[in-house]
Chain A
Amino acid sequence: ASPYSTDEAPNSFEDITTYNNYYEFGYDKSDPAAYAGSLKTDPWSVVVDGLVDNPGTYSLADLIADQPIEERIYRFRCVEAWSMIVPWQGFQLSGLLNKLGVQAGAKYVAFETVVRPDEMPGISGGMIDWPYREGLRLDEAMHPLTIMATGLYGKPMPNQNGAPIRLIVPWKYGFKSVKSIVRISLIAEQPVTTWNTLAANEYGFYANVNPTVDHPRWSQASERRIGGGLFSGRVDTLMFNGYGDQVASLYAGQDLTKDY
């Protein structure tokens, strides 16, 4: 197992694939499992643009060719104060960025999710300005914990979990880990991100898991661990979702109550 994996027991495949936030398929957590089957993930291409040496439109196979795929068992903490343990398969984003050739001026990486109204029933009539956008600071993107995931439980990524390729940043709230990626941009300025645009006081750009910084809607001090049944109660939320030893240094000198 990877030294980056937790030894906690993963949630069941069923929990992981039937309890999803993927608003392009509907607001209810069971909607993605019900409706994501219509999303066509093959062929798939990803646009790479901005401050990179090798921009272009890549087929998924070309994009991830020669990236070493391994299992990473990560804690996954949603901003809604629930969490799971997920055995992802993926590769480090740093490897991909090195292949693409990040230019000196690039400070951030921006991502976009696919938009296909015909295949995604939640897109029409919503309050959200699609595509779903997310981003990372370059040092966060280059961190070895940050992966591009292409599967879970040894199977290809289920559509409702963000097939065929998604981001996973385990020390941040789940909404940072953008699904079904079709665009990766290397840019100089902090990118516009979806939830931050919808409610900036609730969703910051950094969105690091932090039990001491309250969300206006939910306490972040504790979380419900999915899969424990009706009486599972709560566990205390860990700073940086328990990955503080590896990532706290990224934020040295930053006031995390302001950069939330």
Chain B
Amino acid sequence: MINSINQAARRIPAYTIYIAGIALAAWVIFSSLSTPDPAKVLERVLGIRGLQILIVTLCITPLRWYGINLLKFRRALGLMGFMFIALHLMTWVVLDLALRWSEILTELTKRPFIIVGMLAFVALIPLAVTSNNAMIKRLGALQWKRLHWLAYPATLAGAVHFVMIGKVYTLESALYFAAVAALLIARRLKSRKKLAPTG
């Protein structure tokens, strides 16, 4: 089972993630058009898909602990997650709030869930910018790894943002939050084990 997954992964080039991600974004935009409130639907679906992709990206490392090696897709997944979140933010600014800057500014300073969402986006920017070989070289592997640990708090903030938007707490938003929290805890436990003296 694990072997066949790894073999299949070897045959699929990483760029297919970009093709699939862009095709999915195009589909999300197209299918929002026929709904009564397309700007809101687009905003919401882009945000959820972005969060889902970021969670999948965070799963790559723990999967390796169990012998499933999908590492070559991680960069593409992370960048596609960032693309969805960037489109989500753009939809909010341009289509939902329709460039009403004074209202946008009020939202950004007064609404806790908007602030948390914005912080999540800002935290993702340095990760997206450094998701290339040249930047890994420039930063050095250790620095780069440290910086990219930000993916955890950023995704967690995204999940918190999603929980806070709901007028009532829903199982759906709670599950996203639980998934990211579990990944973060698993990562912590693993690194502690590594540091612990053996023998």
Contacts and interface: CB of A to CB of B under 8 A. Distances in A.
A221 B103 contact: yes
Interface in A196-249: 198-199, 214, 216-219, 221-222, 224, 226-227, 229-234
Interface string B73-101: 00000000000000000000001111010
A202 B81 CA distance: 32
B18 interface: no
B125 to A, nearest CB: 26
B37 A226 contact: yes
B33 A230 contact: yes
B38 interface: yes
B103 A229 contact: no
A19 B103 contact: no
A11 B37 CA distance: 12
A61 B166 CA distance: 38
Interface stretch (B49-57, B106-114, B130-138): B106-114
A9 interface: no
A153 interface: no
Interface string B159-199: 00000001111110000000000000000000000000000
B36 interface: yes
Contact of A230 (B39, B107, B111): B39
Contacts of A233: 98
Contacts of B40: 82, 224
B42 interface: yes
A97 B111 CA distance: 41
A234 B100 contact: yes
For A15, A29, A125, A199, the residue with the greatest tally of chain B CB atoms inside 10 Å of its CB is A29
Nearest to B165: A217
Contacts of B33: 229-230
Contacts, number: 56
B107 A219 contact: yes
Contacts of A8: none
B32 A217 contact: no
Interface residues of A, number: 31
A161 to B, nearest CB: 13
Given A127-B168, A198-B168, A222 B39 contact: no
A216 B39 contact: no
B160 to A, nearest CB: 15
Contacts of B110: 214
A4 interface: no
Contacts of B97: 234
A216 B166 CA distance: 13
B171 to A, nearest CB: 8
A222 B37 contact: no
Interface in A119-150: 125-128
A24 to B, nearest CB: 13
Given A127-B169, A219-B106, A18 B36 contact: yes
For B39, B106, B107, B169, the residue with the greatest tally of chain A CB atoms inside 10 Å of its CB is B39
Contacts of B111: 216-218
A27 interface: yes
B168 A222 contact: no
B36 A230 contact: no
A14 interface: yes
A15 B36 contact: yes
Interface string B21-48: 0000000000011011111101000000
29 contacts: A14-B36, A23-B168, A27-B166, A27-B168, A27-B170, A29-B37, A82-B40, A127-B168, A128-B168, A198-B167, A198-B168, A214-B110, A216-B111, A217-B113, A219-B103, A219-B107, A221-B103, A222-B100, A224-B37, A224-B40, A226-B36, A229-B33, A230-B33, A230-B38, A230-B42, A230-B95, A232-B39, A233-B98, A234-B97
Interface of B: 32-33, 35-40, 42, 95-98, 100, 103, 106-107, 110-111, 113, 166-171
Interface of A: 11, 14-15, 18-19, 23, 27, 29, 82, 125-128, 198-199, 214, 216-219, 221-222, 224, 226-227, 229-234
